Amino acid sequence: MNDQLPPATAFQRELRIEPDPAAWAGAPVLLLTACDGGYLPHALALARSLDAVGAGHLLLHLVNPRDEDVSLVRQVARSLRTLRLHLSTEQVCLPDAGSLPAYYASARFLRMAELLADPATRVPLFALDADALAVAPLTLDFSDKPEAEICLRRRDLKGPVADHLRVAAGAVWARDSDGAAAFMHGVAESLRARFAAGDVGWFVDQLVLLEHIESKTGGAQVRNLKTKFSDWMLSENALVWTGKGDSKYLDIRYLMLRHLFDEDPARRDAGRRLMREFAALMPPALAAGVEQRLRRVPFPPRPPRCAVFLPRLDLPWKRSGIGRNGAPVPAEDTVQLRLWWKRFTMELARILGNQGAEVVLVEIPAWEITPERVDAEDVDLAFIPHRCSIDFGPTRTPRWFYMQEYFRPVFVLDPQGWSAASSVYPLSLEALPEPTSGAWEAYRGGFESGRLDSKFHQSAPATREELQAAGLVPRGPYIFHPLQVPHDQSIRYFSDVDQEAALEAVAGLSKKTGLPLVLKEHPANRAAMKPFREKYDRRNILWSEAHVHDLARHSAGVVVINSGVGFEALFSGRPVVCLGRAEYDVAAHRATPATLAEVWSAALAEPAQERERRHARFVDWFLGRHAIDMSRPVAGREVLERHVAAALASITAAVEVAG
């Protein structure tokens, strides 16, 4: 294909690829454009835009193409949805090589003459500049004059203009008539003669068209083309926008649409961003039109781009945790806890990739994961850690949240967040499936054997006798209340009862029932526990350092705000009462400080078999079907794959638009 005609002193032209006219036989109009390889990206954008508006046939004529140009056209032709893209090529040599740019602009008129030459195969033709763009479905009303055989835009109908500007050659329609065929044959012969003579100016096509209009060649009826078919003002009621030289790049509307139809994915993304930002500045009615144009872009869905954000695990979650000497050295237990975040994000990224997404891992300090930073990644979907829709501001980027919940290997992934911010909250226990996943049995067995690790570091498990001997539990039944960090997200977002009010309520319950109260500090923030320890240091209240599983197992019942210990206590078989909101409150007993005594009595009175049924049903659903449990790799992977599929499905339409 790259072999050129030999240098010549005369005009030499040879068709190399010429499709069978039967391919478009009976078409109401055959669209035509011509260019060289340098202008081919424009011609392919035109083809994409015509496909977007449902056009039928386009013949793309390439002058002096390279092999890769021909391959690209054929590749694009296979990707179009409605438009049938046909290809013809030629090799040409001119006595004056400087005339080649003018020839590229004129070649479509030689093709028009050839396509109209045979009455048996001719169909109406509409020739367009390669840098035109279709912006609405094409109609066939090129002129209101029924006698019209040639339609083009005239610039001299309202006053005198220079000869080379009197006719616009960017869009020309020709009827499948003898008159139109004779007219275009005359235009083609004149162009051949001029290029054979050499030293051809840029506007030669417009001058030749004018010459044959004035000569009434072939007796063809030449009429003005409706502006909507060749609109260089880029108006909203146009069907075709005609680009005019470099000036087209100065109009943001043309620039956006041209980029949207580009072959380069980076340019398409630039066009998508420009159009959305442009629409955001417009009144809603106009913005809807911009969005409609976006949705017509016919590119097949590209792989969705996803950003998985991960806090730097060597740093505190908050900037305030960095002192004068820099970040503190994390305790070994903290390191082990946080490494699960790394493991989870690695698995999340892997499964995203397996499901066809492009993934970037963004590991930055937790306080730098902001809505602005998320949007700056310019991805289709973001995965955000340790946050929820309540405390993470709005973003242009669709997002899902992930969180480590209840146990180190257990994470939730949800479009709204975790705990009571989750999209599944509040739950209906009876709507949950029967416990068949095996999660309840696995965790209950681990709890009873002492093999189940709590999320935070605990003392070694011990028997009741050992705990009593060490003064870590009282003799007889007691109320167990694990404290939470007062400013923790769980309390701020998911509870109307703070830690101070909760302590007052359980201390009152202890006094009313006569049961001792066992309290345990939250190990993640001992300093925040100090005021509570000082205030609640009296008879019948015991602060214990025993393992939370032992404290729950040997208690009469557990009262929490919404602590993760409340979830773990479900395995103990003891009643669990919640003063706040959490996913597991559906399996617990919900109370307020005012109703705590009444709810506590009802919880104690519940038959143990019914209590276990409720606990098992929730836990089995949560750990086996909802959360990603990385300690059970096969089951956890299945859940993660399902969530990832749902997340990607939620952005499918947006990705198709962005293609």
Q: What is the CATH number of the domain that holds 126?
A: 3.90.550.10
Same-domain pairing of 178 and 327: no
Asked if 530 and 495 sit in the same domain, the reply is yes
How much is the pLDDT for 161?
Answer: 85
From first CA to last CA, the distance across the chain in angstroms is 31
Residue 428 lies in a domain: no
What is the percent of the chain where pLDDT is above 70?
A: 95
β-partners of residue 373 are none
574-594 average pLDDT score: 98
209 and 310 share one domain: no
- Structurally, the chain folds into a number of domains equal to 3
Higher pLDDT, 295 or 79: 79
d(CA 603, CA 619): 18
CATH of the domain at 591: 3.40.50.2000
Angle at 311 between CA 309 and CA 317, to 5 degrees: 140
- In a domain, residue 364? The reply is yes
The yes-or-no verdict on residue 300 having pLDDT over 70 is no
Mean pLDDT of 597-620: 98
Name the domain boundary from 206, 231, 256. Answer: 231
Determine the 3-state secondary structure of 208 from DSSP: helix
Residue 260: per-residue pLDDT: 87
Find the angle CA(386)-CA(388)-CA(391) to the nearest 5 degrees.
Answer: 100
Q: What is the 3-state secondary structure (H, E, C) of 594-628?
A: CCHHHHHHHHHHCCHHHHHHHHHHHHHHHHHHHCE
Instruction: Give domain status of residue 73, yes or no.
Output: yes
Tell me: pLDDT of 58 over 90.
yes
236 within some domain: no
Contacts of 78 (CB under 8 A, 6+ apart): none
Question: What are the phi and psi torsion angles at 434 (to 5°)?
Answer: -65, 150
Q: Evaluate whether residue 395 is within a structural domain.
A: yes
222 shares a domain with 98: yes
Looking at residues 46-57, what average pLDDT do you find? 94
Q: Which two tokens stand for residue 250?
A: 């100065």
- In terms of domains, do 40 and 176 share one? yes
Of 200, 231, 262, which marks where a domain is finished?
Answer: 231
Residue 265 scores a pLDDT above 70: yes
pLDDT of residue 278 exceeding 90? no
The string of DSSP letters for 99-145 reads GHHHHHHHHHHHHHHHHHS-TTT---EEEE-TT-EE-S---S-S-S-
Q: Are residues 214 and 310 in the same domain?
A: no
Say if 32 falls within a structural domain.
Answer: yes
Who wins on pLDDT, 34 or 302? 34
Cα gap 330→448, rounded to integer Å:
31
Same domain, residue pair 310 and 189: no
Q: Please compute the mean of the pLDDT values over residues 16-43 and round it to a whole number.
A: 96
Residues 388, 467 share a domain: no
Residue at which a domain ends, from 207, 231, 255: 231
Give the integer Cα–Cα distance in Å for 552 and 213: 97
DSSP summary character for residue 241: E
Angle between helices 252-260 and 40-52 (to 10 degrees): 90
Residues 642 and 594 placed together within one structural domain of the fold: no
Band (294; pLDDT cuts 50, 70, 90) = low
Task: Go through 69-89 and write b for each residue having 16 or more CB atoms within 10 A of its CB, e for each that does not.
Answer: bbebbeebbeebeebbbbbbb
Spatial separation of the C-alpha atoms in residues 226 and 238, rounded to whole Å: 10
pLDDT given at position 281: 80
SS (H, E, C) 372-399: HHHHHCCCCEEEEECCCCCCCCCCCCCE
Task: Please return the burial class of 109, using the count of CB atoms within 10 Å of its CB with bins 0-12, 13-18 and 19+.
Answer: buried
Shared domain for 476 and 392, answered yes or no, is: no
Cα–Cα dist 141/151, whole Å: 11
Whole-number average pLDDT of the chain: 92
Confidence of residue 10 (pLDDT cuts 50, 70, 90): confident
Question: In terms of domains, do 45 and 66 share one?
Answer: yes
Residue 530's domain spans which residues? 452-626
Domain membership of residue 203 (yes or no) is yes
Same domain, 598 and 526: yes
CA distance 283 to 287: 6
Q: In angstroms, rounded to a whole number, what is the distance separating the alpha carbons of residues 556 and 574? A: 7
pLDDT over 60 at 4, yes or no: no
Q: What are phi and psi of 112, to 5 degrees?
A: -60, -45
pLDDT at 1 over 80: no
pLDDT at 8 over 60: no
Say if 631 falls within a structural domain.
no
